[in-house]
């Protein structure tokens, strides 16, 4: 079981676009003695020039100043658990190396060491998975709070700039194979939200020494 917990590339919940209802006019009822009146022609949809935009919504949410601060807050909360699991992982690795290097152990001593390693490895996996689940849940909650506000700014931006269709390309399964760069409004929405929220950009994170057993969880697919 994997106890290495990393934050991965960010999937956002799909944004729904409002549907347009087209009413049909009904002809008036004629008197019984009169010939039936002709039905009124159905209203036809109006063709309008298309103006399409793309946005990587999930990435936009996490790239805002407020989104970055929210992620940093969750990571800071789980830092003690990360350090604890990392230390336990290093202990398991050390015990395995000692067992491999020991050539003159009795069968009983070897069996005892194997049991100790197995117990600690199970503890490592269990605590790693528990931390990952809790981390991802809090990360998703933090994402949801920011995403709701970013979506409002995004809709305002689309409306003010006359776009007729907006496609979210956050997910890897996006049907969009290619688009001109100027159709991507991700950066524009991020900047607009940062301006509206007034949240300052977080300071650059200090580099952390790499370790074999990292406990920063993978980011689950957030849902709005």
Average pLDDT, 10 consecutive residues per value, the chain (224 residues): 38 32 36 57 75 95 96 95 95 94 90 95 95 96 96 96 94 82 94 95 70 42 44
Kindly list the domain boundaries of the chain, sorted by start residue.
52-197
Instruction: Give yes or no for a contact between 85 and 134, defined as CB atoms under 8 angstroms apart.
Output: no
pLDDT at 163: 95
pLDDT at 8: 33
pLDDT at 20: 28
pLDDT at 16: 33
Nearest residue to 20 via CA among 41, 40, 45, 42: 45
pLDDT at 207: 65
pLDDT at 177: 81
Tell the residue number behind the tokens 């117990």, with chain if given.
Answer: 119
Nearest residue to 60 via CA among 155, 173, 170, 166: 170
d(CA 60, CA 51): 21
d(CA 60, CA 150): 8
pLDDT at 206: 66
**Dihedral sign of CA atoms 3, 6, 8, 11 in order:** positive
Give the gyration radius of the chain's Cα atoms.
28
pTM above 0.85, yes or no: no
pLDDT at 174: 80
For residue 36, the 8-state DSSP code is P
């Amino acid at each position: 079981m994997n106890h290495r917990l990393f934050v991965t590339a960010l999937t956002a919940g799909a944004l729904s676009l409002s549907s347009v209802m087209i009413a049909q006019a009904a002809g008036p009822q004629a008197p019984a003695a009169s010939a039936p009146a002709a039905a009124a022609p159905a209203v036809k949809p109006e063709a309008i020039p298309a103006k399409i935009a793309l946005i990587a919504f999930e990435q936009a949410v996490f790239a805002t100043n407020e989104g970055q601060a929210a992620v940093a807050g969750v990571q800071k909360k789980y830092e003690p658990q990360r350090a604890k699991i990392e230390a336990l992982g290093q202990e398991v690795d050390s015990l395995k190396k000692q067992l491999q290097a020991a050539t003159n152990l009795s069968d009983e001593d070897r069996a005892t060491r194997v049991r100790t390693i197995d117990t600690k490895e199970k503890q490592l996996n269990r605590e790693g998975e528990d931390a990952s689940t809790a981390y991802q849940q809090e990360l998703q909650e933090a994402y949801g709070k920011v995403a709701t506000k970013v979506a409002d700014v995004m809709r305002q931006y689309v409306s003010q700039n006359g776009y007729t269709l907006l496609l979210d390309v956050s997910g890897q399964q996006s049907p969009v194979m290619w688009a001109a760069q100027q159709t991507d409004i991700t950066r524009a929405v991020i900047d607009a939200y940062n301006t509206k929220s007034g949240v300052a950009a977080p300071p650059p994170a200090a580099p952390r020494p790499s370790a074999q057993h990292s406990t920063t969880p993978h980011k689950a697919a957030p849902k709005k």
